[in-house]
């Protein structure tokens, strides 16, 4: 009886460790809901306060799903797309007809993205 219990406990521990490793390996810190805190285009900066003054609660958001699908909302316009993460941590977000954002997540957990026109986006979870 004790041997069966010991085997069962060992099996449970092995499966728990395997599940933790699988989750850690397959989960990217990019996955989740990100709020756009600030957009800088040239000398124009738009913050959450600016969005509030325009009657919006936030400038926008990006939801990155584990499946590689994303939803990008900017100034209350939502568009679907896809996203990828390279081995070096570089993110590429493609949405709408031909919109692309690229960037990464810094050490403090902030996402920084840039569009082809040079606008810079700061996002937080």
**What number is the average pLDDT over the span 77-95?**
97
Question: Does 75 reside within a domain?
Answer: yes
Question: Does 92 reside within a domain?
Answer: yes
**What number is the average pLDDT over the span 85-114?**
96
> Mean pLDDT, the chain, as a whole number?
83
More confident residue, 24 or 122: 122
Question: Does 119 reside within a domain?
Answer: yes
Domain count, the chain: 1
Question: How confident is the model over 6-19, as pLDDT tens digits?
Answer: 433 443 444 343 33
Given a cut of 50, is residue 42 above it in pLDDT? yes
Question: Does 104 reside within a domain?
Answer: yes
Question: Does 1 reside within a domain?
Answer: no
Structural domain for 116, as ranges: 29-124
- The C-alpha angle 19, 63, 106, rounded to 5 degrees, equals 80
- Is the Cα dihedral 76, 29, 37, 122 positive or negative? negative
Assign residue 73 the CATH number of its domain: 2.40.128.270
* β partners of residue 73: 61, 78
In the structure encoding, which two tokens stand for residue 54, read together? 């325009």
Question: Does 2 reside within a domain?
Answer: no
39 vs 45: CA distance, rounded Å? 6
Given a cut of 70, is residue 46 above it in pLDDT? yes
Question: Does 5 reside within a domain?
Answer: no
């Amino acid at each position: 009886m004790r041997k069966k219990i010991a085997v069962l406990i060992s099996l449970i521990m092995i499966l728990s460790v395997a599940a933790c490793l699988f989750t850690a390996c397959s989960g990217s810190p990019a996955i989740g809901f990100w709020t756009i805190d600030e957009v800088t285009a040239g000398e124009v900066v738009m913050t959450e306060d600016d969005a509030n003054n325009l009657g919006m609660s936030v400038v926008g958001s990006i939801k990155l799903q584990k499946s590689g699908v994303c939803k990008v909302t900017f100034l209350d316009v939502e568009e679907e797309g896809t996203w990828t993460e390279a081995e070096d941590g570089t993110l590429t977000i493609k949405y709408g007809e031909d919109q692309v954002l690229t960037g990464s997540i810094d050490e403090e957990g902030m996402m920084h993205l840039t569009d082809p026109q040079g606008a810079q986006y700061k996002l937080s979870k």
